[in-house]
Amino acid sequence: MKHTTWVQPSCIALSLCSFVSAAAAQNEPDNDPALGLEEIVVTGVRYSMSQAVELKRETMQIVDAIVAEDIGKFPDNNVVESMQRIPGVQVTDRGAGEVTGVSIRGLSDVTTTINGRNIFTDSGRSVALQDIPSTVINRVDVYKTRSPENISRGIAGQIDVHTNRPFDFDGFKTAASFRGIHQEQAEETDPQVSFLMSNRWQTEIGELGALLNVAYTKTNYRDMGVHAGASFPFEPLDGAAPLRQIAPAEGWTPGTDRGLPIAPGSTLDQNSGQAYLHWRDAMFNFDFRGERERPAANLALQWAPNDRSEYTFETFYTGYEAEVYNSLHFQFLNSPIYDLNDPVGIYPGTNVIRSRTLGDGFSFTSGDIEESQTDSFLYALRGEWLVSDSLTLESEIVYQESEYKTDFWGQRFARSAPEFFIDINGGGGVPYLDYDPTGSGEAITDPALVDNYWLDWAFDRGERRNGDALTWTLDGDYQLDLDWLSEVSFGVRWDQRSADVRTNVLESGGPQINPATGAPFTIADLDGIATANTDEFFNGRSGVVQSWAIADQDYVQSNVDYLRSDVYGFSDPSYEPVFDVEETQLALYLQADFATEFDNGLVLDGRFGLRYLDVETDIKSPGADGAFVSATNSNDALLPSLMTRLGITDDLMARFSYTETFNLPTFADLNPYIQYFPDVTNIGYGTASGGNADLQPIESENLDISLEWYFAADSVLYATWFQRDITNFIVPFRNAVVVDVPNDVPDIGDYTYILSQPDNASKASLDGWEFGFTYFPELEGWLEGFGVQASYTLLDSEQDLPVVDQEGRVIGTDKVAMGGVSDSSYSVILAYDKGAFSGRLSYFWREDFYNNNEAALFANPLQVWRGEEESLDMQLSWAVTDQWTVTFDATNLTEPTYSWNYGDNADLFNFHNYIYSRTFAFGFRYSL
């Protein structure tokens, strides 16, 4: 429910008020002077944790929260990193100096709002949460269940980010913070600064308030990865003959979830019963460096002309600017491969090759430079009115726009290695590569030997994405004087959205003729283009290539126009449309709150209601002839919900809720253009790919049951069981279609094409348990102020995927784990808050999980699994005076190696290995 800020939020019923009040009383010390006790003001870490406990207790929905310890002091460098300590929340996608991915109870389909308003980045439906600086945030609420009044898009839940407003403070308030954050791998220290000033005044026209909050964060980072490529079947050795790769056309079917068999002597029946061996196509390293800047500003103006109305104007800006340089080293292992009188190492009891010596191996390095920028603006005007003692109305109009642009240049050098030894898993999933197996002293990768390299291909692409929206809402609360029904709430939300994507179609190719020499351009012709990647790579691990020649970033950026036009003959960038979208949404909701008290003293209250949504999406995309193909996707949904709370005692509460949520297809998935490719290899059918304008929303039916025990001040112990049944799940799908494509194959008419496109072809279920514990025991002496917060989540998921053959016929159903779901995860926080000192040491761990499917081209299992992930972080604060606080923070202290693999056998089919940097930050805060 929504309540105006000048009205004390009413309890749902007097009986429930007594329950909440009794609970609140436990968290307030007895300040009777006769007892000689002083008032205890809870601040810092304990304040943050205790406020989260109280919010969980008082909210009708199941909500967990993170509350800022002070103005400008939100935990951690990054909002997402803080969220990993919330029960049921799992984070992933650590890299580029931060964590970016969030899932709630295993599902990444999350809606993010700012002050309850739906927001997005560029042409998407969601926002990059990491783009919101932590220093401008007051609180983050994670809704695991939602009432009809909440935006119901996003089957996983809702993350609501709260910023500060002037009426949040009693009067004048100013705060500033500065932190220097050191990224260990990048060997750089960068600033994170913020400033807030707020005040409120009584005037002849009522009370006025103004707040300005600005922030700026700069980050230099370095990530490093060593990777093993995918597997193909190869013919076994015959004396000194090459170990030849077997193409799919020769009798094997790629794209199977579990891959080709790995038993010794396994054969390809279509290939004359020939036995085969698994072997990788490549191994590669990347040294990923970047610099990122994020400015942000929030302006809020408030006016309360009287005690029955209030108006707020807010504008919120977030910016993002990044320059990324990836130094890539790529070694092919299959072109050609032959025996150099060294035996082939095979994993015992399998047909999988682990190691061997190779020759004439083509390799390349690539200096990839990407520059990108995002600017997002939100403007909101809000009014709140106490129409009568029973009726409260709120309305606002919001306009937002977001623009994103990116440009990429990839510059390759190439070489050939005459002889080298590879162990695809030299230990811990990391490949071992030796370019000098005979000990001759020749280091083909020595950057000083630039003559070993030749100027290879270049790649040029770019993209422009834009989005805007105009939104109007009206909400009302009507208080009822009935025995069991206390309040009815209603509302309407209208949203007009547009989005478009433009792209510079990828251009690629080798160098042109140099007029000065009459031969293709060489590295020597481009003075200054070559440099060395010689900094200690992958922490200097033995067997990992440490250095290679690479295109110099500064040279490429300074000469990209010359490279584009003269060296490679590419055309100037021209950003052509990919799709344009116009979408209208209308949502209506009605909900009622009820409460009753039984003779035995039990208190029951709850909320039931409906939310109706109608969406019409018009999307168009250019076809092969340049003419636009248009389509309309229309959907509606009626989403009921029921949630109840049972106050068993003053400190024991049970909850039950049934809700329905949904999510809309992405605009890219709805793209109506389908591209057809004719049969050029005489396999009997063509291929096609595109979006699907007929997609339906993903729908989920949700059950939640929890028990919460508020057993002491600022403390809680709780357990929740939940279940999600998901239908219309959108997955990649292949289907045989018969169409007449003009000019595909002359005069052939109707023809069969295997169409790859997204489809509502799957369903899934997820259930689990989450347990949470927060406790500040009553201790004495130096132990006073210690507390602990812990959480543990168990998940069990299952997804039905259609199994199709090469021609798109459904031949069965495969049950797999849902992507992104770890079966278990936990976090533990040790907190200390006494006097001027506070701190926390937090550890987070999640089990391995299925991440995605590899492209359907290989013989290894297609499922890609991420290994275990962990993070050990620390925060310390010392309040030197009432106004000045010194802080020290550290993240990712254990600096683990993150590993991925194909399928469920990490030893046989290792894949990715990453090292991400530790960070150390020293700073100070000022607050008055």
Q: Is residue 743 over pLDDT 90?
A: no
Spatial separation of the C-alpha atoms in residues 638 and 642, rounded to whole Å: 14
Model confidence at 900, pLDDT cuts 50, 70, 90, reads very high
Name the nearest CA neighbour of 405 among 504, 268, 270.
504
Q: Please state, for a pLDDT cut of 70, what percent of the chain lies above it.
A: 89
User: Would you state the structure tokens that stand for residue 233, as one six-digit string?
Assistant: 């079947």
| Start-to-end Cα distance in the chain | 33
Written as one letter, the residue type at 909 is: F
Distance between CA atoms of 598 and 605, rounded to whole angstroms? Answer: 11
Give the 3-state secondary structure of residue 817: coil
Lowest mean pLDDT among 230-244, 694-708, 789-803, 834-848: 230-244
Angle, CA 771 vertex, CA 819 and CA 81 arms, to 5°: 60
Summarize the confidence of residues 295-309 as an average pLDDT.
96
3-state secondary structure 350-386: CCEEEEEEEEEEEEEEEEEEEEEEEEEEEEEEEEEEE
Q: Running DSSP on this structure, what letter comes out for residue 37?
A: P
Q: Quick one: average pLDDT of 598-607?
A: 90
**Whether the Cβ atoms of residue 776 and residue 823 lie closer than 8 Å to each other:** no
- pTM of the entire predicted model: 0.88
Segment 697-714 shows an average pLDDT of 94
- Quick one: angle between helices 44-58 and 14-26, nearest 10? 160
Provide the pLDDT confidence category of residue 195 given band limits of 50, 70 and 90: very high
SS3 content of the chain, % helix, strand, coil (to 5): 10, 60, 35
* C-alpha span between 83 and 100 (Å, rounded): 11
**Owner of token pair 């201790």:** 779
Question: 269 pLDDT exceeds 80?
Answer: no
What is the rounded average pLDDT of the residues 126-142? 84
Measuring CA to CA, which residue among 245, 248, 262 is closest to residue 860?
262
Q: Which structure tokens are listed for 561?
A: 């126009």
- For residue 769, CA distances in Å to 66, 143, 623, 811, 883 come to 21, 16, 49, 35, 43
Convert the pLDDT of each residue in 56-93 to its tens digit: 888 899 888 888 776 666 766 677 777 777 877 877 77
Instruction: Please indicate whether residue 154 or residue 741 has the higher confidence score (pLDDT).
Output: 154
Find all residues with CB under 8 Å of 836, minimum gap 6, and list them.
Answer: 878, 879, 880
**535 DSSP 8-state letter:** S
**Portion of the chain with pLDDT greater than 90, in percent:** 55
Query: Looking at residues 211-231, what average pLDDT do you find?
Result: 94
What's the confidence (pLDDT) of residue 147?
Answer: 92
- pLDDT average, residue stretch 438-464: 84
Average pLDDT over residues 748-756: 76
DSSP character at residue 619: E
- Phi and psi for 721 in degrees, rounded to 5? -105, 140
The confidence score (pLDDT) of residue 800 equals 86
The first and second tokens of residue 764, run together, are 């899934």
- Decide: 337 and 362 in contact? Cβ < 8 Å: no
**Secondary structure tally for the chain: helices H, strands E:** 5, 46
Is the model's pLDDT at 831 over the cut of 80? yes
Q: How far from the centroid of its chain's Cα atoms is residue 64's Cα?
A: 19
Strands, sheet with 117-118, edge to edge from the N-terminal-most edge strand: 63-67, 137-143, 157-163, 110-114, 117-118
